[in-house]
Amino acid sequence: MILKKLDNNNFSDFINSKENVLVEFYTDWCKYCQIVDTFITKENNKTIKLGRVNIDQNLELAWKHQIDKVPTFLLFNSGNILKKKLVISEKEFEYLINE
């Protein structure tokens, strides 16, 4: 899986891809975010591009997308939100990217 750090400068370009892209909104201090980090980069997750937004450093993006819990994932295609889901387990993550 390709991981890209996102901020206000590159977020729009990333989500406006013609293919599905996944964006994780997270914080460094969140225990669930740390758990999610252990499985989002596994080899079997190569099918989708993943961007990560640290909401402590990019609060404006979190507000714009109504992120009130972390880790929240948004699935985009051509700038449109296809799905929004709070994910705290590997099973939930696999379901999100394979549904």
Which sequence positions are flagged as catalytic?
30, 33
Q: What is the DSSP pairing of strand 2-5 with strand 21-26? A: unpaired
Indicate the burial class of 83 (C-beta count within 10 angstroms; 0-12, 13-18, 19 or more): middle
Compute the distance between CA of residue 75 and CA of residue 94 in angstroms, rounded to an integer. Answer: 13
With vertex at residue 1, the alpha carbon angle to CA 32 and CA 68, rounded to the nearest 5 degrees, is: 35
